[in-house]
Amino acid sequence: MTAGLLREPWLAEAFDTVDREAFVPRAVWLPVRDAEGFWRFVDRDEDPDAWRHAVWNPHQSVITQLNDGDTAPGPGTGDFTSSVSALDIVMRKLQHLDLVPRSRVLEIGYASGYHTALLCERVGSERVVAIEVDEELARAGAANLKAAGYDPELIVGDGLEGTPGGEPFSRVINTAALRRVPYAWIEQSRRSGVILTPFGTAYSNAGLLRLRVDTSGTKAQGAFIGESSYMWIRSERPTIDLQVPEESISRKSPIDPAQVLAAGYLQDFAIGLQVPDVSYSHRGEGDDRQVQFVDEAGTSATIVRYGDWWEEDAVRSWGPRDLWAEVTAAYTWYEVRGRPHITRFGVTVDGSGQYLWLDDPRHLVGS
């Protein structure tokens, strides 16, 4: 089931030692909908086999919270806001973390505590500091870790700020997606330390980023090592309060929307790096299908019709930006450069900001 992800002996030993079931609540949701359109709900007491199958499914997360805890256990809808991550991505992240014995580790988002327990198995509880922003999740995770015999330093707070003071960290690992790597993590890292985090944009949340802090301790730089899809860190969630003018401008589209929007998440990710504050959603079906783009400031919106996209009124824009023009320009940039894979993109973070690049830090995306 997970043998291919356990090539490192310590990972295999930690996987065998840490009882994953001890870190999963009795009542959970699965990221699949039932016949009524609710997220599938599984209660261990009612269906222990289904619950256990969900816990050990290597390719699917177990959802432990909906809507920031506002939804009680039972059939529900809404946003996933906490989970026990799928085994395959957990093990893949830990492999890329390059964790060595006695490394001091900062973990952002410990939630149930399962991932934290694996870290403790490698470096010892005394060298793990973990932060969780949700008080209810933090209490549950702390209880799980204590019951399993682990005693890391646990902090309830904003993980984007890290934890000032104490010995610098050799490794920082984040368990939720973000759009901006906080400089505080670099300031609190050792020289040559590793920072590993899911990364996305409002357009596409799909990257796994590995940074290494330079020898001066003032800059971190690295490439995306593959894809991942994680829930957003709460303060990094894209939010929109749409306030566009009533007047719109119409035009035809230069390209079939399906060509830009139906090629998968890796293409979306590359486009999103150039239009990071733009998100999109679909509406309608068949000949009435449309896609709507909005900017995060809420001042611009564009709707594109899939049917008859070449007609003069196929694109309607409100506000100062034509978002479809920006997206198609980003798509053209991606095509001209040979549809580069996600692993060719990278990020540099220093005291002046965050910069995205292709192949070489000198080749900035969008320039």
Catalytic residue numbers read 85
Q: What is the residue extent of each domain of the chain? A: 3-10+17-84, 87-234
Q: CB-based burial of residue 180 (10 Å sphere; 0-12 exposed, 13-18 middle, 19+ buried)?
A: middle
Q: CB of 291 within 8 A of CB of 306?
A: yes
List, in order, residues 6 or more apart from 321 with CB less than 8 Å away: 295, 299, 300, 302
pTM: 0.94
Of residues 7 and 197, the one with the higher pLDDT is: 197
For residue 2, is pLDDT > 60? no
Its CATH architecture, for the domain 87-234, is 3-Layer(aba) Sandwich (3.40)
pLDDT in tens, 162-195: 998 889 999 999 999 999 999 999 999 999 999 9
pLDDT in tens, 64-120: 999 999 999 999 999 999 999 999 999 999 999 999 998 999 999 999 999 999 999
Cα–Cα distances in angstroms (integers) from residue 13 to residues 58, 150, 239, in the given order: 17, 16, 42
d(CA 187, CA 167): 11
pLDDT in tens, 277-331: 999 999 998 878 999 999 999 999 999 999 999 999 999 999 999 999 999 999 9
Write the single-letter amino acid at 25: P
Q: CB of 312 within 8 A of CB of 164?
A: no
The predicted structure's pLDDT at residue 67: 96
For the chain, the straight-line distance linking the first and the last C-alpha, in angstroms and rounded, comes to 44
DSSP assigned state of 362: T
Cα–Cα distances in angstroms (integers) from residue 2 to residues 25, 88, 170, 230, in the given order: 22, 7, 27, 20
Q: What is the mean pLDDT of the chain?
A: 95
The predicted structure's pLDDT at residue 4: 61
List, in order, residues 6 or more apart from 83 with CB less than 8 Å away: 61, 62, 63, 64, 65, 111, 231
Q: Map 144-193 to HEC letters.
A: HHHHCCCCCEEEECCHHHCCCCCCCEEEEEECCEECCCCHHHHHCEEEEE
The predicted structure's pLDDT at residue 1: 45
pLDDT in tens, 29-61: 999 999 899 999 999 999 999 999 999 999 999
User: Which residue's entry shows tokens 């830990």?
Assistant: 94
Q: CB of 204 within 8 A of CB of 268?
A: yes
Longest CA span, the chain:
67
